[in-house]
Amino acid sequence: MSSMAERSIGPRGPRRPNIASANVQLPAVTSYTQVTDEIIATLRPTLAWFTGLGVAITCLVIGAVAWTYQIYMGLGVAGYAPPVMWGVYIINFVFWVGIGHAGTLISAILYLFRAGFRTTIYRCAEAMTVFAVMTAGLFPILHLGRPWKFFWLIAYPNWRLVWPQFKSPLVWDVFAILTYLTVSSTFLYVGLIPDIATLRDRETHPVRKRIFGVLSMGWRNSDREWRHFARAYLFLAAFSTPLVLSVHSVVSFDFAMADVPGWHATIFPPYFVAGAIFSGIGMVFTIIIPIRRWFNLKHYVTLNHLDAAAKLCLFTSQVVGLAYLTEFWIAWYSGSAVEQNYFVNRVLGQWWWAAWIMITCNMFLPMSLFSQRLRRNTTWLFILSLFINLGMWFERFVIIIPSLSHEFEPWQWTRYSPTVIDFCILLGSFGWFSMWFLLFIKQLPVIAIAEVKEIVPPPVRTAHDHGIRITGEHVAFEADTPGEYA
Amino acid sequence: MSEQPESTGVRRREFLKILGATGAATATLGCGTGDVERLIPYLIHPDQTVPGVSSYYATTCRECSNACGVIAEVRDGRTIKLEGNPDHPLNRGALCARGQAALQGLYNPDRYRGPMVRQGGRLVPTTWDQAMQLLVQRIGEARAGGRAANALFLNRHETGSFAAFLDSWLSAMGMPPALSLDVLAQTAVMEANRQSYGIAWPSLDFGAARLIVSFGADFLDDWGATIPQQLDFADARAKLATAPRMIYIGPRRSLTGLNADEWIACKPGAELAIARALQSGAKAGGGDKASVEQAAQQSGVPAAQLQRLAAEIAASKPSLLLAGARTANASELALTINSLNQSLGNVGATVKPTSPITSFDGTTPAAELLAAVERMRSGQVPITFVRGVNPAFTIPRAVDFAGAFARVPFKVAFSSYPDETSEMCDLVLPDHHPLESWGDATPVPGTIGLQQPTMEPVFNTRQTADVLLLAARSGGVAVGAGATTTWRDLFISRIPGGAAALTAALPRGLMPGSLQGAPSRRPAVAPAPTPSPLPPPTESAPGDFYLVVYPSSVLGDGSGANKPWLQELPDPVTKIAWQTWVEIHPLTAARLGIESGDLIRVSGPGGKAVEVPAYVYLGIRQDTVAMAFGRGHSAYGRYAKDVGVNPLDLFASGTDARVAGGGGGGGFAWTQGRVSLAKSDGYMHLATTEGSARQHGRGIGRALTALAGGTMREAAGGEHGEEVAPTGEKGAQTARPGKASAEQAGAETMPGDASHDFLPGLRSPLAADAQGDVASGIERKEGGMYSSQHWSGMAKRRWAMTIDLARCTGCSACVTACYAENNIPTTGAPYQSTAGLSRSATPGHTGLPGSNIVRGREMAWIRLERYYEGGEDGTSSFDTRFVPMLCQHCGNAPCEPVCPVYATYHSPDGLNVQVYNRCVGTRYCSNNCPYKVRYFNWFGYGEPHRAQYAWPEPLHWQLNPDVTVRGKGVMEKCTFCVQRIREAEHRAKAEGRTLVPDEFTVACAQACPSRAITFGDAADAGWTVAQLAQDARAYHVFEELNTYTAVVYLKKVNHPALGPDAEAVGGGT
């Protein structure tokens, strides 16, 4: 294997390791103690964190007040303009569900595929998933005409003997979202157990120690526990994997099962899944890049990791772009005048701006990631991730609004514009998500301590030659700034 | 156990005490009844009524001069619905939107609730005793001063015994006869008719005509006896291939104009030039080239088109020529048309002076009103009475009625509403609403239309006749025959046959004969007008336009503006509600850089200006703009005040408001003004229900073109071009047994014809399957409700509807009927807009009338779509398709499977049912509805404590008790009037019989003055609808979606000019 390391130095200078394999090293991380110390150090609250939390809660309160007002007045305070019966809330719903997808993809699928670059970012992505699904789950309730009756959508035995309509994709949504929330939060929690045990061992405050003690389920770091843990983790990863595909497929059925031009398409499930992964990775960048800077974790979340994630981002972007083009092709090939007319209206008619925001942000801008230099430029990645978030929000806008406003009946063609209430609730959803995430990163490690330790050189092994000399010297890493790993 | 431990908490006894006390308190609070709600207004109900069962009273509608017969449905002492009286000679069971909305006048929340007197500059409530005392005193003063002869009584025009009584009362008081006012009356035409035929209004036989030519006569909007005209016109058009062709001549295509096959867009006022050219041509026995050239030059119409018009008129006998422009030369036009009709041999054939309509007899021409205004201005008039009219609004402001009226020392209003005129008065003695009053009308000679109270008065009002009688008695003046004390007694005494005859006649609302002492008033015959030279319409400079002001066909003379149903009803032509707009031709708009919604400053010659949004309208000349009259009140209650603008304000001088005709017999000339347009900064979203006015080839409103020889061809907008044979009126009569004859006619190739296989719907593979019980013909052993073997037999029926587009004129009466029947909330009132919060995001949406409609949130379960075919290049040659669109009650409904909570499902008898209580408001059903006929309660329109409540007290008295009022957050839609279906079924069951075909119908079909809508059971061949559904013209909208709809449309039939040069000029198709 040392020959492999040598081979990686090519004629054009040093080449990067195969980061899609397990060979992702953290050259600046040398000991278990360093890992534990540095990661636990991130849990100390700072003034900036309190400020951020305050902003998040303020946003949440704004959204909550707007929702209360909306419940009191009626949905008319939002921007709905029939026949645009679904608006910003469903856009937000699909947007947040989509964001919730990358987490499980990274933590579960990449785990199964042994993609090593996931190790340092998966915890962050998985937490993002849980909170994004929690956020997304609010919106179907938020958008109901009578939100206090939301439980009628849930299938439970009742004396009225009335069951939900199992033909309705909205009922499938209920099952899909609740299943996904359950499994992904379980997965997150199970992965956290060894780390919580570490926290417990370091905790001095008796109450917190007790709480961590309960949460760690009495983890004692025994071989037996590790064996069970590994089995459970593998099982949950395998169990989550089909959910990644199914949940957004089910969400896409909300649209694909309807007869609305622009919705009624078989391409929707794969298209939505790809879009969801794309948007999720975008959101991971938005979150992880500031965290690695502010928490001094650059030597954990290395440029190699980001580079690999950016390649996944690029790939899903191209899948999404292909889906866009396929939609147009199908519309043309269908020969259906209604469908064709709708797509022309989408890109050249009243909604051209939204469609071009979507295409630019999701298809063209991510093409910059073909450049390795930009893949390793965290500033660009961060800016790009904001564009991806915007573009993916507009993708859902473009799917929902132009379709509903330009259906079969020309007499009922209409326009749509959100109101202040719509935006307040959108803001509130970011507040809700950010609040949970901020609380999370100061209570529990944002990087999996136990898993990182698996890839740092074990103290006993440093003297031995196991085929890999992990010293950090055999591969030259490009740092984006001098002293990147210092 | 020796020591009781020291207890720190609550002892057992204390606990029990607290529990007892709080429990009792909670229970006591729970017993509170809160608001006591009375389900039944009657505590002890009258003998003949049963709580919950309707009584019906025949009476007379007084919303316009026509005086149609109506039947009022009264439930537990409250009038809840008006429908046309089927026996009435005028309306024959139909009722227009204005008539339907009379209820909202009755229950108007802004009605005067009792007498009012002016004190300290304000009207304050008073008692009837004090008010009467003041009235008697002031009348006495006027009489004592010898000035009573100068008194004025401005009365709403009506025929019948009240008018006669009023004149006798006035003469007993030494006062001149009342002015009988109707600002919409075609007094110029009436005067011409009197000269030509000796009667004011002949009946018209549209069916006998082979060609109808309207010179600005909007006989479907406001011209003459609109309802009978519409009935006859629709019947005539239902003859399909052999129906009369219609040509409309005028600067603007009104609703009547849109129903014409061809539009000759002449300059305003140039109708006369065309008529004269035709006249001289008729005299010359063919075409008079010179006069046609002259007319072409004056009217701005190609000479070839006029030449062909002349040829067509000469070739089509009998024809029917109608005059009705509101221009300064209206009288000459009417006389010319009358003489043309005479010379063409139409009189007696299509114009029937021998069977006149007498509703308009005795209307005061505008000249007399202007003279009265001048008398008031001179200060001679000591006292003025106003009843049922609002001249301060309806007379052009340039006349300054208000200024003259203010000079009258004592002004008495008998108005029910705080309108502009009554708000100026010193004493308000509110009259009963016509639905609370006794009276009568004379619609046609030899028939008395009776008017009776349908319920106890809503407010503390008194019928004006009683007030007058009391005033006379108090003043010591004897009026009428003998010592009758009340108007009711006096009225009965005038009825031939007295009380017994009246009692016998009241159930029908009609009696033969004529009233004793009926007024024989006839205005002095004006001298025959000398044919004055036509004022040549001048060429318009850029930004300088002719102004056509026309009365809104739904708001009438503006008296409809305080009724939210009428404000909410989109204008049948422009589809705008709650706003005033200015219509501009697309090419003109493009030239001036104007788009629909841009605020336009319209300036009259005197500098008077109004600012209104533009509406780009294909049906107007390029050198002309038009505005509707009816909105722009500065008073008149919450629904009318500050809603829209009044275009009559633009008339700056008396010359613009000049009286039509030289003889003084005409009305106000509304279409001779000239205005300039300037685009101002700003934009106002139009409160329109129109999305795209084009069908984009989707075949929603389809049409056939009648060809020579009685065949028809698919017209533009359809997908096929095969020729088919007509199946005659009511296609079914000749088409039955339908299938066979349709095949003979080659109808199989027509779009929609394939649907014949599943038209009755029961044969639809999925019709009964929304619940999954009998999918694909698999029936469960025990046989559910959806099984045709089920004991209820529900699945044997398939409720369905046909809509004949050849009949539909787009008048929208069905829409208002649906509002009335189904408790549909209106959403556009200014107070219903959401103030504040949405302003920044969407300017123009808030605090404004119609803001909810701007957002597309109108709730009309049935709407009138109006599509154009042709005319994309701005030419006058385009075809209009009116398509009433309502829930199609699909057999395979897209809305049903997507509802997660089963709020919408399929009933065994084919209805697509919406369960309001089950709905949680996901609105997925609406997304999935291709027809977009589901409506959502965005606000608490039906909840009294909400700001958006649609029926402020006592408007909610109108609500139909059979129909749920929907709360916020639920979806609603057309139910096919399921309450009527079930009522009929229950009645039949109670009587131990099965339903008789055509036993009942739904509200829209009942009201339709074109008889375009037919409802019934398509699975039972006995029903008319089952026969009509077999017509060769039948089609489903969007049948390619396999929705298996229960609503079947029958194609419209267009009639292009048939002749060698017809194609060159275009025939409107």
Cβ–Cβ contact A417 with B under 8 A: yes
The Cα of A413 is separated from the nearest Cα of chain B by a number of Å equal to 5
A68-107 residues touching B, CB cutoff 8 A? 69, 73-77, 79-86
pLDDT above 90 covers a percentage of chain B that reads 54
**B906-952 pLDDT per residue, tens:** 888 888 999 999 999 999 999 999 999 999 999 999 999 888 899 99
**Residues near B1029 by beta carbon (within 8 Å), at least 6 away in sequence:** B759, B760, B800, B802, B1018, B1048
Which of B18-22, B568-572, B751-755 comes out lowest in average pLDDT?
B751-755
> What distance in Å separates the CA atoms of residue A61 and residue A67, rounded to the nearest whole number?
10
Mean per-residue pLDDT for B971-977?
95
The Cα of B861 is separated from the nearest Cα of chain A by a number of Å equal to 13
Q: What does DSSP say about strands B799-804 and B1052-1054: parallel, antiparallel, or unpaired?
A: unpaired
Helix (H) or strand (E) holding B1048, with range, is strand B1047-1050
Chain B, nearest residue to A160 by Cα: B918
Residue ranges of the alpha helices (H) in B77-197?
97-100, 102-106, 128-144, 161-172, 187-197
**A183-194 pLDDT per residue, tens:** 999 999 999 999
Residue B682 contacts residue B597 (beta carbons within 8 Å):
no
**B139-165 pLDDT per residue, tens:** 999 998 888 899 999 999 998 889 989
Which of A276-290, B217-231, B728-742 comes out lowest in average pLDDT?
B728-742
Cβ–Cβ contact B514 with A under 8 A: no
For residue A400, the SS3 value is: helix
Give this complex's ipTM. 0.89
The Cα of A337 is separated from the nearest Cα of chain B by a number of Å equal to 8
Contacts of B970 in chain A (CB under 8 A): 145-146
Predicted local confidence at residue B659, as pLDDT: 54
Residue B175 contacts residue B529 (beta carbons within 8 Å):
no
> What distance in Å separates the CA atoms of residue B906 and residue A120, rounded to the nearest whole number?
55
Contacts of A341 in chain B (CB under 8 A): 696
For residue B251, the SS3 value is: coil
B755-774 residues touching A, CB cutoff 8 A? 772
* Bridge partners, residue B319, by sequence: B211
Nearest to A323 by CA among A367, A272, A394, A357: A272
Please answer yes or no on whether B922 and A144 come within 8 Å at the CB atom: yes
> What distance in Å separates the CA atoms of residue B597 and residue B944, rounded to the nearest whole number?
33
DSSP states of B326-358: -STTHHHHHHHHHHHHHHTT-BTTTEEEEEE--
DSSP letter assigned to residue B433: P
State the number of CA atoms in the 13 A half-sphere of B995 facing the CB.
24
Cβ–Cβ contact B212 with A under 8 A: no
State the number of CA atoms in the 13 A half-sphere of B534 facing the CB.
25
Which of A160-164, A293-297, B68-72, B370-374 comes out lowest in average pLDDT?
A160-164
B577-606 residues touching A, CB cutoff 8 A? none
B697, B932, B1041: residue with CB nearest A83: B932
**A17-60 pLDDT per residue, tens:** 554 544 567 777 888 888 888 999 889 899 999 999 999 999 99
Residue B241 contacts residue B712 (beta carbons within 8 Å):
yes
Residue B436 contacts residue B43 (beta carbons within 8 Å):
no
Look at B564 and A1; give whichever has higher pLDDT: B564
Predicted local confidence at residue B481, as pLDDT: 55
The Cα of B554 is separated from the nearest Cα of chain A by a number of Å equal to 21
Predicted local confidence at residue B767, as pLDDT: 44
Mean per-residue pLDDT for A235-247?
90
B691, B838, B897: residue with CB nearest A419: B838
Q: What secondary structure, in 3-state letters, does B599-610 show?
A: EEEEECCCCCEE
- The CA radius of gyration of chain B, in Å to the nearest whole number, is 31
Predicted local confidence at residue A226, as pLDDT: 93
Please answer yes or no on whether A168 and B898 come within 8 Å at the CB atom: yes
> At CA A89, angle to CA A86 and CA A92, rounded to 5?
120
Predicted local confidence at residue B291, as pLDDT: 85
Backbone φ and ψ for B107, nearest 5 degrees, come out as -100, 20
**A151-172 pLDDT per residue, tens:** 999 988 888 777 888 889 999 9
The Cα of A326 is separated from the nearest Cα of chain B by a number of Å equal to 23
pLDDT above 70 covers a percentage of chain B that reads 83
Predicted local confidence at residue B737, as pLDDT: 35
Residue B518 contacts residue B442 (beta carbons within 8 Å):
yes
Chain A, nearest residue to B697 by Cα: A337
pLDDT grade, residue B39 (50/70/90)? low
Strand order in the sheet with B703-706: B723-724, B712-714, B703-706, B1052-1054
Residue B1042: pLDDT above 50? yes
DSSP states of B562-619: G-HHHHHSPPTTT-B-S---EEE-HHHHHHHT--TTEEEEEE-TTS-EEEEEEEE-TT
Size of interface A-B (CB pairs under 8 A): 197
pLDDT grade, residue B620 (50/70/90)? very high
Predicted local confidence at residue B716, as pLDDT: 63
**Cβ neighbours around B845 below 10 Å, total:** 22
Give how far Cα B565 sits from Cα of B97, B569, B830, B873, Å.
8, 6, 14, 36
> At CA B662, angle to CA B661 and CA B665, rounded to 5?
60
Structure tokens at B270: 């140039």
Predicted local confidence at residue B284, as pLDDT: 64
The answer for A360, left when phi > 0, alpha when psi is -120 to 50, beta otherwise, is alpha
B138-197 residues touching A, CB cutoff 8 A? none
Contacts of B697 in chain A (CB under 8 A): 337
Residue B727: pLDDT above 50? no
Amino acid at B332: E
Q: What's the whole-number average pLDDT of chain B?
A: 83
> What distance in Å separates the CA atoms of residue B425 and residue B431, rounded to the nearest whole number?
15
**A302-350 pLDDT per residue, tens:** 888 888 889 999 999 999 999 999 999 999 998 888 899 889 988 898 8
A384-413 residues touching B, CB cutoff 8 A? 404, 407-413
Please answer yes or no on whether A338 and B698 come within 8 Å at the CB atom: yes
Please answer yes or no on whether A414 and B902 come within 8 Å at the CB atom: no
Helix (H) or strand (E) holding B500, with range, is helix B498-505
Predicted local confidence at residue B729, as pLDDT: 37
A74, A80, A410: residue with CB nearest B968: A74
Contacts of A414 in chain B (CB under 8 A): 691, 856
pLDDT grade, residue B768 (50/70/90)? very low
Backbone φ and ψ for B545, nearest 5 degrees, come out as -135, 155
A81, A146, A407: residue with CB nearest B930: A407
Nearest to B194 by CA among B661, B535, B550: B661
Predicted local confidence at residue B5, as pLDDT: 52
**A265-296 pLDDT per residue, tens:** 899 999 999 999 999 999 999 999 999 899 88
The Cα of B778 is separated from the nearest Cα of chain A by a number of Å equal to 19
Look at B181 and B833; give whichever has higher pLDDT: B181
